[in-house]
Amino acid sequence: MATLVYLEHHDGELVKGSLGVLAKARQLDDEPAAVVCGSGVRELAAEAGRYGAARIHVADDVALEAPLPQPRVDVLASLVSEQGFDTVLFGASVLTADVAAALAARLGAGLNWDLVDLQVRDGELVGTRPALQDSVHVEVGWSAEPRLALVRSGTFDPVEAGGDADVVDVAAELEDFSRRAVMVESAHAESEGPSIEEADVIVAGGRGLGDPEKFGLLEELAKALGGAVAATRAVVDAGWYPYAAQVGQTGKNVSPKLYVACGISGAIQHKVGMQSSGTIVAINKDPNAPIFEYADLGVVGDLHEIVPKLTELVRGRKSA
């Protein structure tokens, strides 16, 4: 196998998700290569080596400074064709999903996404993808090379392999259309807001709350249970609750003892941030909501009725 792992970086460090994929790549291929694209990123090569890359291709160019997908596709398309990589792996993120899909189109290649495992079986690469709200596991493959894959976020942990990577410079020759979108403001972590990662109990709310004021109901319940309040992306994007309290793929990963989901549909991108919670209770009025597929206790009903009652009952029990 000739494997290439795309390494994403943020704030001067390689991100954990891509290093986890690199660790997986080493199980499939003794000497996986990696690629990092950005501006001032050459110093990340040492870290790539330490986490298992045998060779690191570095595309260091000011035109790659903003974390936008299209310039990266240009770099990867020539790299993959020129070096003859047969497998290209990505840890899924907002950026890499866009890079991988465009690269597949450019190369006429197959892309499998949301993989939770990769194995070589009888000489063939096989991916595992949970589908239909994770109710079925699909074994997926590729009928031609290069084989492209996006790995579900948080699937593999990085492993320090302790080596040195050969560093190879890559030129960034960009298509005109790839440079048209520009980033006028780049994401900065918003530090204000509650801290939810340490909480033993989380009461989380989604669009089913109906309006931002209703977060008050959840704050009351959280207080009674001695926990923190969290939210879905839908309500954070709508400005109902701070980004710092968001759970999911583009928010926090949490694993409290108890997670109470109120008015949350339970999309995969939310699930990846809270599935390792000890006990999951879901209150949703739609009996078909995907969250019921993985809640330990599913309550089909109106949160506006149930949550205040539950708060009273919890208070009563605690004061008894």
Partner 1 sequence: MKVVVCVKEVPEASARTRIDPGTKRLDRGGAAALNPFDAHAIEEALRLVAAAGDGEVVALMMAPEGAADSLRKALAMGADRAVHVADDALAGSDLVATARVLAKAVEREEADVVVLGQQGSDSDGAVLWSALADLLRLPVVSQAASLELADGKVTVKRQTEYGYDVIESPLPCVVAVSDAINEPRYPSLKGIMGAKKKPYESLAASDLGLAAEEVGEAGSRTVVRSLSEPPARGDAVRIEDGDGDAAEQVLAFLVERKLL
Ligand X SMILES: Cc1cc2nc3c(=O)[nH]c(=O)nc-3n(C[C@H](O)[C@H](O)[C@H](O)COP(=O)(O)OP(=O)(O)OC[C@H]3O[C@@H](n4cnc5c(N)ncnc54)[C@H](O)[C@@H]3O)c2cc1C
- What angle do helix axes 94-107 and 69-83 make, rounded to 10 degrees? 50
Residue 197 has which token pair?
């990662």
> Is 286 an interacting residue with respect to ligand X (CB under 6 A)?
yes
Strands 9-10 and 166-169: unpaired
DSSP secondary structure, 243-261, as one string: GGGBBSTTSB----SEEEE
**281 and 187 in contact (C-beta within 8 Å)?**
no
Residue 1 has which token pair?
């196998």
Which amino acid would we find at residue 258? L
> Is 120 an interacting residue with respect to partner 1 (CB under 8 A)?
no
Piece of 19-27, 48-56, 220-228, 244-252 that binds ligand X (CB under 6 A):
244-252
Q: Which of 30, 237, 255, 276 binds partner 1 (CB under 8 A)?
A: 237
Residues 201-220 that bind ligand X (CB under 6 A): 206-208
> Is 38 an interacting residue with respect to partner 1 (CB under 8 A)?
no
> Is 18 an interacting residue with respect to ligand X (CB under 6 A)?
no
Mark 172-211 with x for binding to partner 1 (rule: CB under 8 A) and - for no binding: ---x-xx-xxxxxxxxxxx----------x----------
CB under 5 to 8 A by kind: which of ligand X, partner 1, none does 284 bind?
ligand X
d(CA 219, CA 205): 10
Query: At 176, is the secondary structure helix, strand, or coil?
Result: coil
CB under 5 to 8 A by kind: which of partner 1, ligand X, none does 270 bind?
ligand X
> Is 251 an interacting residue with respect to ligand X (CB under 6 A)?
yes
Q: Among 261, 262, 263, 270, which Cα is nearest to 208's?
A: 263
> Is 63 an interacting residue with respect to partner 1 (CB under 8 A)?
no
> Is 161 an interacting residue with respect to partner 1 (CB under 8 A)?
no
Query: At 174, is the secondary structure helix, strand, or coil?
Result: coil
CB under 5 to 8 A by kind: which of ligand X, partner 1, none does 135 bind?
partner 1
Contacting residues toward ligand X, per CB under 6 A: 94, 206-208, 232-235, 246-251, 263-265, 267, 269-270, 273, 283-286, 289, 302-304
